[in-house]
Structures are given as C-alpha cells and as structure tokens.
C-alpha cells in the first residue's frame, strides 16, 4: 500500500538527484512534484494551496533501503560499486551498515557460544572526502554489552568511525565525571591474542577522557545500505550567494513540515595541522529544530550532534584531530559551532562561514 504523495516524492527524488561533481555546481532541476507530494503548491513562499498528486510510478520506492556495496571477510568488494555509494551519500541518502560476526570471537572470546550475530549500525554523520570517499560516524551510541547488563561500565559516547572500505576506528567521550588527565599522544599497540580477527593499528590519548584507536576487525561480511528519499533544494556559497536551486522552494518545504539535512563544505578544516594542505570534504548532518524569518527569507536549523574528524583517505582518529558538538546553520552561510573539547570536556562557541547544501524529506 502506498500513501498519497509517495509516487510524487519518488519522481521528485529521481529528478533532483545530484551527480558526484563539484560541491553545489550541478544542473539544478526545478520540479514541482516535490511540493505536490508535500501537499503545497509550487508558488511563492508561504503559499498553502494543495497541488495535484500524480499517479504512482512503477519501481522501488526511495523509502526502501537498498544495498550498494558488500565486502567479504577480507574487506574485498564483492558486490556493488563505490561510485554508487559515494553518489548516494553525497545526494543526502541515509546510511546504514550491516556486519556479521561470531559471539565467541567478537563479544566473549573463548565462549562456548558460537552464535552468528548480525548488527546494523545507523550513521547520522557522514563525510564525503574529495567527492570520491565516504566515511561515517556514530554520534549517539553508548557502549553495549550483549547478553550482559546492557551497557558498558563507564557511561560514554562510543563514536565509531567506519570508512567505505571497512577501515574502522572509535573514539570515546567519557560522560561519567571522573578525572582522566593522563598524557596525550600515541600509546603502545598491544594485540589481544584472544581476538585474532581484531587488528589494532594505533592508540591515542589512552589515559584521557577522549581516547581513540584505529583498527580493523575482520567481520564475516559488511554491507552498506542507503535510503534515497532526500531531495536537494538549495545550495549557496559561504557568503550566502545562491549556487543552485531556490531558497523559496526550501522555505515552502520547511513550511510543509519537511525534515532537513545539511551538507557543510570544509567543516573540519581547522582540525588539519597548520602548514598542511586542506582536504576537500563535506560533512552531512541531520537537523532538528528549524526556524524562518519569513520577510527576510532567512532559514536556520540546529543540527543533531556532529562528530568532526580531520579529513583524509582513509579518515582516522588522531590526538587532537577530532571533537564533538552541535551546529546552528543559516541560509546566509553563517555556521555557529558549540563544540566540546574531548580532553577537558569544556564547551566553546565559535562562528564560521561555510558553503551549504540543503536537503528535505
């Protein structure tokens, strides 16, 4: 069964999809079907007259999750195409990843329980590096112990970071209030003989409130899924000049109750050490509360928590190379950041300007 408007939304999503090219520089297709799907007319901002909804068209719904890349236990791409993954994420697609592992190897080494486990992770923060590489961060996860007490012993954020090729990392931001003021920097890399599939590569800041490590775990398989029901409606430069699309269209979608997602160009530039070249990247984040000054046509949103990481291929954690916080983003290019220092757990606010791309659902 298909709800009224889903056919129109599917058509709009197809027509407005973004190819992997320069940020915001695309042939933008204005399409009134999106507004018909949302129940509003493609007229001036503020118009509330409903539009006609065309008949559904055949084919898979954009609301469905579809696999785009499957890796085997050696992280070899067995099915799918990397360019498909990058294009989908860059066009605003939601991202999930399913992995397979064995209880006695991954959860409880040496256990008689040899159960096969499947895990699906949700990635609400994605980074597109140089228009050709995807890395993704978990932004709200607590450590979990399966078949145990539910959660790990120390409240913290488990900020897992996965690259498209299966390179993995994790940073922890401790929330238990304990003082952890150990030395910062690289630490010893000690492999666990009880976990031969876990390959520890680098350890940083182990005795601080923001430790991190880079590693590879040999999952039985890894599958990336995308859901492509977001539509890019507007993009602009860091000083607010339009690149493509229509700010009025974005405001009409906002007025119709659409969800918002924003791609921020160069968000993590200040995490690159002084003297080193910047790496082109976008960070794509889900947003929550949104606001609009209608006369000024100034739309703004507050983001979900964002994990900022020094960009690279692959993207990895480093000492001083990541932080955590929230963004307040506006259609004039102003981005205010409330960031927490992982080592002091103190917050600071700062303002930058960034080129932005705006998606609706």
Extents of the domains making up the chain: 66-225
Task: Read off the pLDDT of each residue in 169-185 and give the average, rounded to a whole number.
Answer: 96
* Contacts of 239-242 spanning 24+ positions with Cβ under 8 A: 239/332, 239/333, 239/353, 240/331, 240/332, 240/333
Task: Read off the pLDDT of each residue in 323-334 and give the average, rounded to a whole number.
Answer: 98
Task: Read off the pLDDT of each residue in 193-202 and give the average, rounded to a whole number.
Answer: 97
- Quote the pLDDT of residue 26: 33
pLDDT of 27 above 70: no
Task: Read off the pLDDT of each residue in 254-277 and give the average, rounded to a whole number.
Answer: 97
Give percent of the chain above pLDDT 90.
80
pLDDT of 40 above 90: no
- Quote the pLDDT of residue 60: 55
pLDDT of 49 above 60: no
pLDDT of 58 above 80: no
The string of pLDDT tens digits covering residues 128-163 is 999 999 999 999 999 998 887 789 889 999 999 999
- How sure is the predictor about 38, in pLDDT bands with cuts at 50, 70 and 90? low
pLDDT of 20 above 90: no
- How sure is the predictor about 62, in pLDDT bands with cuts at 50, 70 and 90? low
pLDDT of 296 above 60: yes
- Quote the pLDDT of residue 114: 97
Mean pLDDT of the chain: 88
**How far is Cα 35 from Cα 33, in angstroms, rounded to an integer?**
5
């Amino acid at each position: 069964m298909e709800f009224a408007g889903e056919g129109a939304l599917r058509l709009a999503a197809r027509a407005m999809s973004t190819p992997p090219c320069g940020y915001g520089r695309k042939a933008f297709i204005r399409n009134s079907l999106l507004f018909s799907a949302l129940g509003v007319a493609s007229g001036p901002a503020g118009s509330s007259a409903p539009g006609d909804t065309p008949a559904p068209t055949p084919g898979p719904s954009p609301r469905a999750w579809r696999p785009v890349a499957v890796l085997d236990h050696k992280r070899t791409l067995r099915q799918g195409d990397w360019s498909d993954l990058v294009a989908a994420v860059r066009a605003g697609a939601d991202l999930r990843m399913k992995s397979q592992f064995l209880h006695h190897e991954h959860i409880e080494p040496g256990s008689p329980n040899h159960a096969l486990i499947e895990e699906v992770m949700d990635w609400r923060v994605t980074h597109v590096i140089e228009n050709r590489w995807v890395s993704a961060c978990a932004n709200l996860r607590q450590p979990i112990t399966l078949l145990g007490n539910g959660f790990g012993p120390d409240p913290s954020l488990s900020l897992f970071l996965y690259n498209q090729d299966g390179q993995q990392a994790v940073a922890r931001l401790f929330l238990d209030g304990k003082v952890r003021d150990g030395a910062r920097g690289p630490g010893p890399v000690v492999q666990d003989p009880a976990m031969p599939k876990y390959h520890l590569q680098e350890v940083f800041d182990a005795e601080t409130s923001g430790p991190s490590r880079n590693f590879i775990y040999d999952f039985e398989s890894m599958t990336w899924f995308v859901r492509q029901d977001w539509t890019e409606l507007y993009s602009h430069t860091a000083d607010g000049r339009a690149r493509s699309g229509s700010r009025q269209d974005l405001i009409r979608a906002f007025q119709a109750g659409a969800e918002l997602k924003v791609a921020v160009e160069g968000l993590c530039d200040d995490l690159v050490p002084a003297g080193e070249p910047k790496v082109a990247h976008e960070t794509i984040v889900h947003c929550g509360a949104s606001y609009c000054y209608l006369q000024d046509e100034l739309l703004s949103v507050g983001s979900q928590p964002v994990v900022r990481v020094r960009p690279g291929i692959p993207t990895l954690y480093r000492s001083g190379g990541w932080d955590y916080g929230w963004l307040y983003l506006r259609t004039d290019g102003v981005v205010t950041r409330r960031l927490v220092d992982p080592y002091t757990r103190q917050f600071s606010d700062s303002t930058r300007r960034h080129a932005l791309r705006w998606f609706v659902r």
